[in-house]
Amino acid sequence: MTVLPIVSVGDPVLRERAREVTPEELRSPRTQQLIDDMIETMRAAGGAGLAANQVGALLRIFVVEISGNPRYPYKPEVPLTVAVNPAIEPLDDETAAINEGCLSVPGLRGEVDRHVRVRVRRLDRDGAPRDETRLGLTAGTFQHELDHLDGVLFLDRVRDPRTFTTWEQFERHHRDAFVARAEALTARVGS
């Protein structure tokens, strides 16, 4: 497995819509290698998720894994998930303001409204269909990754630009209040 370079905001590949993966393509050693490399890259960067656009590949694939994540210690654990050709459907109208960051937007965080209950349909890396409910912060993570495949960054969804902070200022001034809100959300809706 190889740790790939992660592209940052300004690279046009982050603004393009990734295309669907065909069954043959998914089975190919090349795509399987890409998935392995994305997992390795996400882990090396300490990310909660990574979308193919972020390593310059315009295929509808993202990976998510959260296990004692140092960037987001308040996020509930999520086992390694490979999502191919994913679709996300809100299960109701409720949203929550979630403070997000992104490996492709180094240094910046901001508050984004995300649906708190979503249905995620995807293929796994073997092409088997999966249908799951994701809740709270985890639902937010999946929406963030799906956005990447549509050329959308969390920056675009920040409703109030005054919520932008550096990671350092987040730690200093905003972390405690946000973590209290995040933990209350997890306790109320699950993950």
Q: How far is the CB of 50 from Ni ion (least distance, A)?
A: 7
Listed in sequence order, the residues at least 6 apart from 6 whose beta carbon sits closer than 8 Å to its beta carbon are 41, 45, 50, 54, 55, 103, 104
Nearest residue relative to Ni ion (C-beta): 102
How many whole angstroms from its chain centre is CA 97?
15
Strand partners, 131: 121
Query: Looking at beta carbons only, is 25 or 45 nearer to Ni ion?
Result: 45
For the question of residue 100 being annotated catalytic, the response is no
Q: How far is the CB of 153 from Ni ion (least distance, A)?
A: 7
| Residue type (1 letter), 96 | A
Catalytic residue among 145, 168, 171, 183: 145
Query: Looking at beta carbons only, is 25 or 152 nearer to Ni ion?
Result: 152
Phi, psi of 147 (to 5 degrees): -55, -40
Catalog residues that contact Ni ion under the rule CB under 5 A: 102
Of the candidates 183, 189, 69, the residue with the CA atom closest to the CA atom of residue 139: 189
Query: Looking at beta carbons only, is 97 or 142 nearer to Ni ion?
Result: 142
Query: Looking at beta carbons only, is 102 or 120 nearer to Ni ion?
Result: 102
Angle CA(64)–CA(3)–CA(27) in degrees, nearest 5?
65
Q: How far is the CB of 169 from Ni ion (least distance, A)?
A: 20
Q: How far is the CB of 107 from Ni ion (least distance, A)?
A: 13
d(CA 54, CA 103): 8
User: DSSP characters for 10-24?
Assistant: T-GGGGSPPBPPPHH
Catalytic positions? 145
